[in-house]
Structure 1
Amino acid sequence: MSYSTLEIQRNGAVATLWMNRPEVFNAFDEQLIAELTQACQALDHDDSVRVVVLAGRGRHFSAGADLNWMRRAASHGEAENLADARQFARMLRTLATLSKPTVARVHGAALGGGTGLTAACQMAIASDDAVFSTSEVRFGIIPAVISPYVLQAIGPRQAQRYFQSGERFDAARALAMGLVSEVAPAAQLDARVAALAESLCAGGPCAQRAARELIAAVHGRPLGEATDEDTAQRIARQRATAEAREGIAAFLEKRPADWLR
């Protein structure tokens, strides 16, 4: 597929999805939202893609909502705003539920929805010049659609502050709160993203999907016999898969597993 607001770059099994509206700092409007949804769906169904990296061309990752889009939304009624919000929510959920690892490559500004995109990816590496915010309240609105992803990343206590203050915070603060998993000097950002992608490609794809399901099932669950039984069944099922047999055989035979060939 061809896109007017995106560029997809392939490097082996790694696909980098570049938001390509540098003239507006990759702010999103209806077109970018629709194309991000379509591109994520296409990459998810491409078995040759093992890792998806989300990045932004130009000086910034994403400045959030396009001002012209916001201006149009302000003149719309509730029904039209609801339709727009549903499309945005669908895009974020499509990104967040990809069946393969996703990494946000964040530099410069990641404001409002840009923070939401960061949180919707499973992992994020930020350059040390990155700046984040959930600034919606300063426009008289709320970070409603991005809230499930940002809350999952930073927790309700931090959200109480930043959802209400709209303050900007730097990459070091984002790391401390859990929004990003690593901070790198700007000159090393691409190298660190590439290193993480290479590590992710080393894992078995079925095992990685099972690992994500494991996290969703176990997080917040109390210890007890039910949790013991669930986790025991999960590892028993996984050990019986062809992928597990191949992975263990490759280790014992000191050769690459077949998913690395």
Structure 2
Amino acid sequence: MYETITLKTDGRGVATLTLDRPEKHNALSAQMIAELTQAAGQLASDEAVRVVVLAASGKSFCAGGDLGWMQAQMAADPDTRFTEARKLAEMLNALNTLPKPLIGALQGNAFGGGVGMASVCDVAIGVDSLKMGLTETRLGLIPATIGPYVIARMGEARSRRVFMSARLFDAAEAVELGLLACAVPADALAEAVEAEVRPYLSCAPGAVSSAKQLIQSLGPRIDDAVIDHTIRQLVTRWETDEAQEGIRAFFDKRKPAWNR
């Protein structure tokens, strides 16, 4: 059914949604974005599912946007760019509003959109050896569609530390920033995730869903207007000379013009 992800549910109702493009460091391609959106809808409507774990295969959790996908957007017309950016935004929103607890299990690095994927989780746990970073500005881009979720997770003050500079940070700082609930040795990740999953199995599923909706209604506003704003910001940025130079430099394996 799926080619870039896997979805399995155990007898307890714990579903594991796994990013499964290890050879591409689980970068978000157009196909993966579509499949994640479909899986989110499937999980939302499945009454047998009590909890969802978002995991990944291979060395990386998620390297962000697939650069081939981004390169295609650079060559596309504005309407196509807007449509593709909306697909990305809708996928993130579908996971963020999933009416089930979503537990992130980060077994490896998360960059760009990968930080966004961690941010839509209700709880994210990572291995203590991982690195994270919002790396978009190195390419002349901005973390637009993931922005509402990253800022909701970290808050504005902490976001300012890493949102613009593209610097990488370790798991300990990710905990300090609020992106990770905790960082554990690799061999303790499964146990730490299970410790987050288990309490939900004694809770009323409907009450858990309502509680999650209440949190989101009381937290930072992430509605259609906000999402549309981020889409426009991303599409506008794709059209700049900096973005053209940044993507071109990456594929040419050279430094962009602004890199001193």
The interval holding the TM-score normalised by the smaller chain is: 0.7 to 0.9
Query: 1:73 matched to which residue of 2?
Result: 73
Tell me, what secondary structure is at the counterpart of 1:3?
coil
- TM-score w.r.t. structure 2 length? 0.81
Structure 1 residue 217, shift from structure 2 partner: 4.3
- TM-score w.r.t. structure 1 length? 0.81
1:11 and 2:32 aligned: no
Query: 2:27 matched to which residue of 1?
Result: 27
Tell me, what secondary structure is at the counterpart of 2:163?
helix
Query: 1:216 matched to which residue of 2?
Result: 216
Tell me, what secondary structure is at the counterpart of 2:214?
helix
Q: Which residue type is aligned with residue 175 of structure 1?
A: V
Structure 1 residue 9, shift from structure 2 partner: 2.1
Tell me, what secondary structure is at the counterpart of 2:110?
strand
**Inter-partner Cα distance in structure 2 for 1:90 and 1:38:** 11
Give the 5 Å matches for 1:1-261: 2-12=1-11, 13-219=13-219
Flag structure 1 segments of 5+ consecutive residues without an equivalent: 221-261
1:49-101 deviations in whole A, cap 9, x for unaligned?
00011111111110011121122122123222111110000000000001110
Structure 1 residue 180, shift from structure 2 partner: 1.3
Structure 1 residue 129, shift from structure 2 partner: 1.4
**Inter-partner Cα distance in structure 1 for 2:219 and 2:36:** 29
**Inter-partner Cα distance in structure 1 for 2:132 and 2:200:** 26
Tell me the C-alpha RMSD between the 2 structures.
1.3
**Inter-partner Cα distance in structure 2 for 1:128 and 1:106:** 10
Q: Which residue type is aligned with residue 8 of structure 2?
A: Q
**Inter-partner Cα distance in structure 2 for 1:78 and 1:219:** 32
Query: 1:235 matched to which residue of 2?
Result: none
Structure 1 residue 174, shift from structure 2 partner: 1.0
Tell me, what secondary structure is at the counterpart of 2:60?
coil
Structure 1 residue 161, shift from structure 2 partner: 2.7
**Inter-partner Cα distance in structure 2 for 1:200 and 1:37:** 24
Tell me, what secondary structure is at the counterpart of 2:198?
helix
